[in-house]
Amino acid sequence: MAGASLLEVDDLHTYIGQHHILQGVSLRIRPDAVTVLLGRNGAGKTTTMRTIMGVLHPTRGAVRFDGRPIHHLPPYEIARLGIGYVPEGQGIFGTLTVDENLRVAALAEDAPSGRRLERILDLFPDLDRFRHARAGTLSGGQKQMLSIARAFVNPNRLLLIDEPSKGLAPIIVEHLIDALRAMKQHATVLLVEQNFAMASALGDDFYLIDDGRTVRHGSMASLAADHELKKKYLGI
């Protein structure tokens, strides 16, 4: 099984300023599966993603993508290996139009990219309707859809999606779950999600982070059944 992981994170330690945020995070992400990263606020979920993306640099440990160490690379090289990132708070370019947001994300303007874009716009018809509007004028849900759509424009092999349901109305979250379910057939996903309904609807595997360490992992189905574990680490 060891060689079958698309992404391997080994004993990652990351500081932000003087704060030792990650103190030993290890992950194995299976290809074509959705792995959910769970944990309380401040446990280190977002920091883990930012370290994988190269925005933060680890002081110890390793990140390997497809067997190749990537933790010393700058973010733009990591992105070009085929890792897409949908950050917390969406990271939309508000002064650009929806169309410009999608075009700036596309690293190649070839036929397959065009087909992927068509498929995304089918899933998110709102984006097509407001294609020439400034992205800053979109609603919260539409911004989240745009953020996810940007990551799908490229033939990414791995997507890091950070709390897509945050601040969205329940009905929008339902729509988002449907869209992500349709998309997961095409990519491996590492998802940070506080909304347990969404996490269990999409997730295949889970990792639990507490105080900057990965403490448990297993299949999402086993977590859903383990009420004690959920209560201890997630308070639900």
Partner 1 sequence: MKARAPLAVALALLLLPLGFMDLRTYLTLTVAGLAMGMLIFLVAAGLTLIFGLMDVLNFAHGALFSWGAYAGFAVAALLNGRWGWAASPSVAANALLLAAAIVVAMAVTVVLGVLLERIIVRPVYGQHLFQILITLGASIVLEELIRILWGPNDQVMPVPATIQGSWDVADVVVLRVPVVAIGLGLAIYAGMQLLLNRTRIGLIVRAGVENGEMIQVMGHNIHRYFTGVFAAGSALAGVGGLMWAIFSQSVRPGMGGEQLIFAFIVVIIGGLGSVTGSLVGALMVGLSYNYVAYLVPKAAIGVTMALMVIVLLLRPTGLYGTAK
For partner 1, the binding residues (CB under 8 A) are 53-55, 74-76, 78-80, 85, 87, 91, 93-96, 100-101, 103-105, 107, 150, 154
Strand order in the sheet with 158-162: 83-86, 158-162, 188-192, 34-38, 205-210, 213-219
| Cβ(199)–Cβ(36) below 8 Å | yes
Q: Which residues contact residue 142 at a Cβ distance below 8 angstroms, ignoring those fewer than 6 apart? A: 124, 126, 127, 130
Shortest CB 76 distance to partner 1, Å: 5
Complex with partner 1: residue 32 or 77, whichever CB lies closer = 77
Q: Please, which residues have CB within 8 angstroms of residue 235's CB and are 6 or more apart in sequence?
A: 40
Integer Cα distance of 65 and 188 in angstroms: 12
Q: Which is nearer to partner 1, 95 or 185 (CB)?
A: 95
Shortest Cβ 90–partner 1 spacing (Å): 9
Q: Least distance to partner 1 from the beta carbon of 37, Å?
A: 17
Taking the least distance from each CB to partner 1, the nearer of 157 and 217 is 157
User: To the nearest whole angstrom, how small is the minimum distance from the Cβ of residue 97 to partner 1?
Assistant: 10
Q: What is the sign of the dihedral through the CA atoms of 94, 99, 102 and 107? A: negative
CA dihedral for 144, 172, 195, 5, sign (positive or negative) = negative
Considering beta carbons, is residue 100 or 128 the nearer one to partner 1? 100
Q: How far apart are CA 20 and CA 172, in angstroms?
A: 36
Min dist. Cβ of residue 11 to partner 1 (A)? 24
Using the minimum distance from each CB to partner 1, give the nearer residue, 142 or 154.
154
